[in-house]
């Protein structure tokens, strides 16, 4: 009997993995998209000394996630610059996580755990985390977090030091991949409350205090990096307390809605305006409040729905708007933010299907379940195709969110690298600036494109705008000053201006031979006596 059960479990795991790779097939052969090149291991870190630097020098990688970047380092050693290897790894990690969800659900005696695992594995809301190489931080951290949770449940049952230490070590590995898993100790406490109806200090809370302490420390460190290193500060991140209180339930509702009806997923969603004077802003707190009240009322009959909702909301807490994270510059919501949080919802779907099977004919429920999974697979296939390459992704984004100035600018940069794409790139840069006039990089990009198109005079005000908007961005200012100098040299009376611009560029980028030569040429031209007319 046990062997038959093991064979069934193995068959389901293999089927789930095959389903994941089939659903994600359009993205597996795709290229790099936004931010991927910044996450993959750069040349200076590809040696053994680079692996040491990943752990000991914060700042040498995009974010200080040493476990994640060690994984990227190892992957580069295995397949170099072959992008398909990273895609296969991400899909594989996602499939492993889904199998672990089934194991965890069974350990917790959740009915329909395998159905929930398949829902998670095939749900299109997870495409952003699986098809986007940069989000290997999500898939890798989830595998470690699930293993940590399973070790904790063993500790909870047997109380052995080995299980506690194993779980804690896996939790540290998860934090080293992405600090969103800092909420795991709270999730485990909610699970304890769900199973036993109360949280005991000595049994449940005290053993988790070290987990909670390192989770808080990692979360605060990430919040500091987001603000002071990555740049999550300024007018775009300045929200009044009332705005943040109104934002959180709207974010929560968005994720509930996209999980329930995932047909309009987009890489960058429109950025909402949160206005406390608008009565519509209070609809979302009311909706979330009603859901919470209903689940609270149900708790005497069953605590499971409330526990699932608390875990869902708790895992999302770091991105509900109370803390500022850099992607808020573009939108307050993103599909990859809900990757971990969708697990309790997926398991709830599985449990709900099993409850229906108790009341309705098994064949009917089985057919409906198959139709659901097939529909999710088709939606995932379609969504994964948008990650085939960067241009496809940005065009798909603009088709649903034409106000995405980020997509306009990034698409413009791609097009500007092609001789035939220069005119459209100018249009894209102009659209980005129309939507966000203070976008310094878009002004600079437009200036470069105009200069290449032989419209240098039109480029000048955009270079000047870029300098004015980000005067402390040394590389941007140096490049803009240099190109202003180039444009000045094209004027008969522009030598003095060219000397000034090249000099300013050299201050920001000292020792650059190209700028030094340009400055010498401008100075020599300025020193020549004017020719008599």
pTM of the predicted protein model: 0.93
Separation of alpha carbons 171 and 255, rounded Å: 25
Instruction: Count Cβ atoms within 10 A of the Cβ of residue 523 and give its class: 0-12 exposed, 13-18 middle, 19 or more buried.
Output: middle
Distances (CA, A) of 101 to 47, 169, 319, 340, 373: 36, 19, 23, 11, 16
Instruction: Count Cβ atoms within 10 A of the Cβ of residue 522 and give its class: 0-12 exposed, 13-18 middle, 19 or more buried.
Output: buried
Res 533: pLDDT: 35
Chain CA centroid to CA 365, Å: 35
Residue 222 · residue 317 · CB < 8 Å: no
**Segments in 417-452 forming alpha helices (H):** 422-435, 440-452
Distances (CA, A) of 294 to 321, 353, 484: 24, 20, 63
Structure tokens of 119?
A: 């829902």
DSSP 228: I
E strand or H helix at 154, and its extent? helix 136-158
Q: If you search the block for the tokens 């989000």, which residue do you land on? A: 135
Annotate 291-332 with three-state secondary structure: HHHHHHHHCCCCCHHHHHHHHHHHHHHHHCCCCCCHHHHCCC
DSSP 229-292: II---SGGG---HHHHHHHHHHHHHHHHHHHHSTTS--SSPPPPP--TT-GGGGHHHHHHHHHH
Phi-psi bin for 299: left (phi > 0), alpha (psi -120 to 50), beta? alpha
Residue 229 · residue 62 · CB < 8 Å: no
Neighbours of 326 (CB within 10 A): 17
Q: In the Cβ-directed half-sphere of 190, how many Cα atoms lie within 13 Å?
A: 19
Separation of alpha carbons 265 and 124, rounded Å: 8
DSSP 201: I
Residue 177 · residue 140 · CB < 8 Å: yes
Instruction: Count Cβ atoms within 10 A of the Cβ of residue 228 and give its class: 0-12 exposed, 13-18 middle, 19 or more buried.
Output: exposed
Instruction: Indicate the SS3 state at residue 1.
Output: coil
Q: In the Cβ-directed half-sphere of 395, how many Cα atoms lie within 13 Å?
A: 11
Separation of alpha carbons 493 and 479, rounded Å: 22
Separation of alpha carbons 460 and 463, rounded Å: 5
Separation of alpha carbons 336 and 137, rounded Å: 10
Distances (CA, A) of 352 to 140, 190, 359, 365: 28, 20, 11, 11
Instruction: Indicate the SS3 state at residue 374.
Output: helix
Residue 134: CB partners within 8 Å, gap ≥ 6?
33, 34, 35, 36, 38, 39
Q: In the Cβ-directed half-sphere of 329, how many Cα atoms lie within 13 Å?
A: 16
The terminus-to-terminus CA distance of the chain in angstroms comes to 105
Separation of alpha carbons 88 and 265, rounded Å: 23
Which of 389, 390, 423 is closest to 406 using CA atoms?
390
Which of 94, 74, 115 is closest to 21 using CA atoms?
94
Would you write out the chain's pLDDT as a tens digit for each of its 533 residues? 678 888 899 999 999 999 999 999 999 988 999 889 888 998 899 999 999 999 999 888 888 899 999 999 999 999 988 899 999 999 999 999 999 999 999 999 999 999 999 999 999 999 999 999 999 999 999 999 999 999 999 999 999 999 999 999 999 999 999 999 999 999 999 999 999 999 999 999 999 999 999 999 998 888 887 777 776 667 778 899 999 999 999 999 999 999 999 999 999 999 999 999 999 999 999 999 999 999 999 998 999 999 999 999 999 999 999 988 888 989 999 999 999 999 999 999 999 999 998 888 888 889 999 999 999 999 999 999 999 999 999 999 999 999 999 999 999 999 999 889 999 999 999 999 999 999 999 999 999 999 999 999 999 999 999 999 999 899 999 999 999 999 999 988 888 999 999 999 999 999 889 999 999 999 998 887 654 43
Res 377: pLDDT: 97
Angle between helix axes 440-452 and 422-435 (nearest 10 degrees) is 150
């Amino acid at each position: 009997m046990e062997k038959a059960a093991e064979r069934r479990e193995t068959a389901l795991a293999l089927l789930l993995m095959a389903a994941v790779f089939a659903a994600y097939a359009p993205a597996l052969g795709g290229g790099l998209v936004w931010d991927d090149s910044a996450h993959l291991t750069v040349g200076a870190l590809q040696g053994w000394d680079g692996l040491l630097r990943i752990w000991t020098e914060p700042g040498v990688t995009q974010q200080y996630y040493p476990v994640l970047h060690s994984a990227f380092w190892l992957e580069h050693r295995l397949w170099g610059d072959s992008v398909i290897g990273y895609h296969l790894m991400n899909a594989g990690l996602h499939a492993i996580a889904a199998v672990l969800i089934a194991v965890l659900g069974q350990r917790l005696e959740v009915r329909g755990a395998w159905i929930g695992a398949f829902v998670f594995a095939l749900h299109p809301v997870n495409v952003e985390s699986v098809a986007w190489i940069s989000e290997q931080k999500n898939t890798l951290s989830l595998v470690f977090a699930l293993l940590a949770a399973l070790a904790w449940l063993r500790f909870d049952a047997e109380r052995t030091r080995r299980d506690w230490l194993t779980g804690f070590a896996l939790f540290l590995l998860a934090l080293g991949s992405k600090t969103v898993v800092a909420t795991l100790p709270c999730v485990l406490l909610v699970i304890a409350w769900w199973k036993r109806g109360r949280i005991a200090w000595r049994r449940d809370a005290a053993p988790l205090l070290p987990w909670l302490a390192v989770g808080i420390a990692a979360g605060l460190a990430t919040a500091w990096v987001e603000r002071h290193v990555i740049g999550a500060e300024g007018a775009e991140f300045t929200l009044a307390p009332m705005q943040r209180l109104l934002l959180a339930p709207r974010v929560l509702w968005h994720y509930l809605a996209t999980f329930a009806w995932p047909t309009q997923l987009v890489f960058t969603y429109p950025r909402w305006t949160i206005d406390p004077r608008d009565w519509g802003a209070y609809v979302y707190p009311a909706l979330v409040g009603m859901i919470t009240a209903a689940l609270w009322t149900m708790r005497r009959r069953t605590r499971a729905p409330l526990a699932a909702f608390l875990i869902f909301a708790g895992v999302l807490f770091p991105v509900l708007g109370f803390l500022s994270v850099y992607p808020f510059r573009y939108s307050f919501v993103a599909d990859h933010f809900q990757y971990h949080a969708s697990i309790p919802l997926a398991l709830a779907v599985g449990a709900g299907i099993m409850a229906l099977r108790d009341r309705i004919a098994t064949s009917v429920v089985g057919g409906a379940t198959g139709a659901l999974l097939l529909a999710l697979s088709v939606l995932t296939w379609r969504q994964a195709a948008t990650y085939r390459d960067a241009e496809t992704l940005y065009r798909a984004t603009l088709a649903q969110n034409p106000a995405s100035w980020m997509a306009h600018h990034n698409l413009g940069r791609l097009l500007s690298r092609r001789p035939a794409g220069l005119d459209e790139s100018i249009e894209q840069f102009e659209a980005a600036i129309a939507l966000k006039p203070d976008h310094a990089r878009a002004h600079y990009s437009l200036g470069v494109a105009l200069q290449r198109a032989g419209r240098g005079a039109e480029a000048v005000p955009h270079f000047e705008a870029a300098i004015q908007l980000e005067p402390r961005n040394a590389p941007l200012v140096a490049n803009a000053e240099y190109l202003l100098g180039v444009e000045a040299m094209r004027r008969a009376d522009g030598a003095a201006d060219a000397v000034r611009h090249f000099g300013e560029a050299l201050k920001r980028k000292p020792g650059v031979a190209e700028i030094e030569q340009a400055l010498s040429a401008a100075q020599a031209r300025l020193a020549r006596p004017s020719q008599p007319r």
